[in-house]
Structure 1
Amino acid sequence: MPYTLDRLAAGSYDLLLDGIVIGGVVRDITADGEARQWRAELLDDLAPAQRPRPFIEIEHGFGSLEEVAAWLGDAAIGPAAQP
């Protein structure tokens, strides 16, 4: 299952699986503007048996974007797709 991350804006990526958007990856920012962590989340609240691997939960937290990409099987990180 090849995952890719397409940049939307600073700190925000579409999460694609085989070219289909299935979720997002975003950087959480505190009220004082400091980055805390990254979140990978599915768009749909799927039953556990229907979630694509490696998703055990609908949302998972990470310390960096690189950690997210590695967890997704070394997902490619790219610029936003052009219409």
Structure 2
Amino acid sequence: MARVVVDVMPKPEILDVQGQAVSRALTRIGVSGIEVRQGKHFELEVDDSVDDETLHRIAGDLLANPVIEDWKVTRL
């Protein structure tokens, strides 16, 4: 078995409401100079026979919305 991480983030041109809320909260508690973008992190345990193309298809079809999100698949 192999460990695979899929990180999903909103595309840069997409408004990240959750990230903006965290950024505003940081300002309210006196922390400045930090801009937050919030995404999703998935950890998968996969059989060694699962190829990279399949992992990218899973990420794009099930874990991310390719219209508004980018993703990165990393084998650990």
Using structure 1 for the length normalisation, give the TM-score: 0.28
Structure ranking higher on relative contact order (CA contacts 8 Å, 6+ apart): 2
Identify, as 1 or 2, the structure richer in helix. Answer: 2
Using structure 2 for the length normalisation, give the TM-score: 0.29
